[in-house]
Amino acid sequence: MAFFIKEALRSVQRNSVPSFAAMASILVTVLVLGIFIPITQATTGAANEVRDKVLVNVYLKTDAKNADRDRVSALLRRDTKYVGKVEFVSRQAAYREQKKDYPEYYSELLGSNPLPDTFRVTPDSPDNALKLRDALAPLTASGQRATVDPAIDTVKNRKDDTSNILFITRVVKYAMALLAALLVLASVLLISNTIRLSLFARRREVEVMKLVGATDWFIRWPFVIEGVLLGALGGVLAVLALTVGKVAFVDPLVSDFALLRAPETMQFGVLALLLLGASVGVSAMGSGLSLRRFLKV
């Protein structure tokens, strides 16, 4: 092992330009990933919070009795698909809520309450909001909607808003996943090609070692260790740069921007360890795989 480490250090010193290029590519890749991963997590978390606010409102008729409310409640909680959570809001509670939010409009009602009892139903999945609406108020042959219980007046879920929310959040999640996959793929190819250039400059040396009887792994180990050293150095420098950026720019803004303190975001210590492990692992794998063609003498 001492011989392999010595050879790896000698190779780095002798091929300083390709080694620096490999280290720089790892540094940039890890730096971009260190910024991209928290942004992706925070954006996805924010999108999920928006999706969780999708509701289906079931409005009862104004003359509904207690027995009607109990029957509709049982229907929603036990006999209806796609139901996740059911919250009952009485007409008195709805009136107080609306009067608090819009006092200028409700001051003219002189104490009368036009609001009905309402069940606020959260679907088991935001994508099932429209299916839940259709289950509670299916279309008839005439194209009109008929509720499944006579005590239910209307079922509304603000179809346009729900569709827009689901579409936007789905696009955000898919776009982030695609960008992450492309970035990781580009990083692997960049590191592999950079190390391959370094190995190509020493192909004659590898061929001579192979011809005099050196085993494949005896030849490969110094290059693998070289990749590990370059990956570790690039990863450490990137983590240091991310730490400086976090302390200098992100932490002072946490109290002003909710997205920066999203609970779904990975802890910085865990992120740093993940980035260091990835930089070392990908570099070692890239150097090992890149050397295969030069071992076929």
All domains of the chain in start order, with CATH: 2-50+166-295 (no CATH), 55-156 (3.30.70.3040)
Tell me how far apart the alpha carbons of residues 164 and 53 are, in angstroms, rounded to a whole number.
13
Mean pLDDT of 174-196: 70
pLDDT tens figures, 132-176: 888 888 888 887 888 888 999 988 876 545 566 567 667 766 777
CB atoms within 10 A of CB 157: 22
Tell me how far apart the alpha carbons of residues 258 and 263 are, in angstroms, rounded to a whole number.
10
Select the highest-mean-pLDDT range: 18-22, 47-51, 132-136.
132-136
Q: Supply the pLDDT for residue 123.
A: 87
Q: How many Cα atoms occupy the beta-carbon half-sphere of 229 within 13 Å?
A: 18
Please tell me which residue, 7 or 51, carries the higher pLDDT value.
7
Burial status of residue 267 (CB atoms within 10 A of its CB: 0-12, 13-18, 19 or more) = exposed
Mean pLDDT of 20-43: 78
Tell me how far apart the alpha carbons of residues 151 and 249 are, in angstroms, rounded to a whole number.
57
Q: Supply the pLDDT for residue 240.
A: 93
Q: Is the pLDDT of residue 43 over 80?
A: no
Q: Supply the pLDDT for residue 263.
A: 55
Mean pLDDT of 256-269: 65
Nearest to 206 by CA among 196, 214, 283: 214
Q: How confident is the model at residue 31 (pLDDT cuts 50, 70, 90)?
A: confident
Q: Supply the pLDDT for residue 297.
A: 47
pLDDT tens figures, 85-116: 899 988 888 888 877 776 766 666 556 777 88
